[in-house]
Structure 1
Amino acid sequence: MIYGLYLSATGVVTNAHQQDVIANNLANSETTGFKRSMALFEQRRVESQVVRAAGGKPNMLDDIGGGQFLAPTFVDFTQGPLEQSANQFDTAISGRGFIAVGDGSGETRLTRAGEMMIDREGNLLTAQGHKVLDSNRTAINLKGYAQHELALNNKGQISHGRDVLATIGLFDSSDTAALRPVGENLLALTGDARLVPAKGEFLSGFVERSNVDPANELTKLMETQRLLEGNANMIKYQDATLAKLVNEVGKIG
């Protein structure tokens, strides 16, 4: 009975996490360059396997298994729909690659959100206010130039007439699975992953929309809510049964 409570509890934890992930996808279905996340789970190994792996000798009760564990969340990097923009400094990325930005704390982050502008100090910023980095991972500054005087081509080159002033860096991760969302539509490298040149290309005058399908995510959200409610109800039923066992069966004799 106690083991049944454990199984239901792991279900509640994993279902609640999945619900949060789906809700975040829905909240960002209109966010430029957003990539949907998918909650992944692992089945708990039976106890006999765990004991053997530790060098012990399992007994008959160790054949009990089940339950779920949270696995690292998977990010779906499928290309989102492209939409033409009236801002000449907006750029989408076709294929693999990310724009590198500084997050304000000295860390380099990656994003697919290519809505950009120049502030009063000449810094090239994303719509979230992060400084865009060039191919050498240096913040791009275009002080002395008005935005309407500049042009951005599909190589990421920012030019004034024939003069190339800067080139927006296009990077990829040596291990895409090691990229983790850190908020504000940014991704961070984790583990041993490192920045490498990307094989994609810029599409100036376009933006990439979110790759979230709201109808599909809403369906998944309703399914997850039903699973969560089912596991929560199982905890209540088992708790009531335990209470009856202690309060009534224990009084016999």
Structure 2
Amino acid sequence: MQNAMLVGVSSQVALQRELEVVANNMANVSTNGFKTRNSRFQEYLMPVASADSFQKSDRRVSYVIDQGTALDLGQGPIEQTGNPLHVAVRGEAFLVVRTPSGDRYTRNGAFETNNQGTLVTSDGYAVQGEGGPIQIGQQETGLSIGPDGTVSTNLGIRGRIRLVTFANPQALTNDGANLYASTTAPTPAGLAGRLESGALERSNVKPVVEMTRLMDVNRTYTMVSGVISRLDELRGTAIRRLSEIA
């Protein structure tokens, strides 16, 4: 009975984690370049919670282990904005921005320029070019961003937006503000990533799918809670009857 209670609790912990992931996905339905995350779980068979000496040997006790989340790198829908500072990333590449904690990576191409003429994100982080931050003078006109990230104005080429890829993008960790951090160095994207100027990549979250997941999690959590409650009542009844016999 105790094993059954522990199995139920492990299931509830996993379901709570799944609920957090789904809620975060739903909260970012409108976030530019956001990538869905999906929970990953693994069955764990307790190696010592069985006895083979009985006429019918015990079954292995199966628990649920949280194995983290998987990043869905599927392309989000592209929406035309007409803003020359907006870029949508196509392919598996990431944009590089400089934060106080170092370089971070994003798919959000909603850029703007600050008071110093530096190309920055909406959070004020400098967009990194192949030679560092990209500067655009306030008097310059005819701004355009090419598919390879080349930024040009009426005065010529001002820089080239840095695009990178990762050997194992699943190792990227969320670092807030729709940014990712990596413990391994990226490599130049090459043909693995291109930019579309005057457009933004929207979130690849599918609201209908996430709502279905949310209902499934709530239904399963309620069912497991009911099982745990019945087991607790059964244990209480057993204790009372044993005390009466004693």
Same fold (TM over 0.5): yes
Tell me if 1:135 matches 2:126: no
User: d(CA) in 2 for partners of 1:177 and 1:21?
Assistant: 16
Amino acid in the other structure paired with 1:95? G
8 A Cα contact 1:47 1:62, kept in partner = no
Q: What is the CA distance between 1:228 and its match in structure 2?
A: 1.1
Q: What is the CA distance between 1:178 and its match in structure 2?
A: 0.9
Corresponding residue to 1:161 among 124, 149, 154: 154
User: d(CA) in 2 for partners of 1:8 and 1:109?
Assistant: 39
Q: What is the CA distance between 1:252 and its match in structure 2?
A: 1.0
Describe the superposition over 1:4-57 as per-residue Cα deviations: whole angstroms up to 9, x where unpaired.
Answer: 011000110001110111111111111110110001100003415xx9xxxxxx
Cα root mean square deviation, aligned: 2.0
User: d(CA) in 2 for partners of 1:119 and 1:109?
Assistant: 19
User: d(CA) in 2 for partners of 1:13 and 1:235?
Assistant: 13
Give the gaps of 5 or more residues in structure 1: 52-57
Tell me if 1:211 matches 2:207: no
Give the gaps of 5 or more residues in structure 2: none
Aligned to 1:110: 105
Describe the superposition over 1:168-226 as per-residue Cα deviations: whole angstroms up to 9, x where unpaired.
Answer: 10011121121122221111114xx3201112111111110111110111011101111
C-alpha spacing 1:196/1:47, structure 2 compared with 1 (3 Å): same
Amino acid in the other structure paired with 1:126? T
SS in 2 for 1:89: coil
User: d(CA) in 1 for partners of 2:107 and 2:139?
Assistant: 25
Aligned to 1:23: 23
Percent of residue pairs bearing the same amino acid type: 29
Amino acid in the other structure paired with 1:113? N
Aligned to 2:239: 246
Tell me if 1:42 matches 2:37: no
User: d(CA) in 1 for partners of 2:216 and 2:242?
Assistant: 38
Aligned to 2:138: 145
Aligned to 1:173: 166
**Runs (4+) of structure 1 moved beyond 4 Å?**
146-149
C-alpha spacing 1:179/1:147, structure 2 compared with 1 (3 Å): farther
TM-score by length of 1: 0.88
C-alpha spacing 1:141/1:248, structure 2 compared with 1 (3 Å): farther
User: d(CA) in 2 for partners of 1:239 and 1:59?
Assistant: 24
Paired positions, count: 240
8 A Cα contact 2:143 2:152, kept in partner = yes
Aligned to 1:77: 73
Q: What is the CA distance between 1:132 and its match in structure 2?
A: 0.9
8 A Cα contact 2:21 2:39, kept in partner = yes
User: d(CA) in 2 for partners of 1:102 and 1:235?
Assistant: 49
SS in 2 for 1:128: coil
Aligned to 1:230: 223
Amino acid in the other structure paired with 2:157? V
TM-score by length of 2: 0.90
C-alpha spacing 1:244/1:110, structure 2 compared with 1 (3 Å): same
User: d(CA) in 1 for partners of 2:154 and 2:60?
Assistant: 72
User: d(CA) in 2 for partners of 1:10 and 1:76?
Assistant: 25
Amino acid in the other structure paired with 1:98? F
Tell me if 1:195 matches 2:190: no
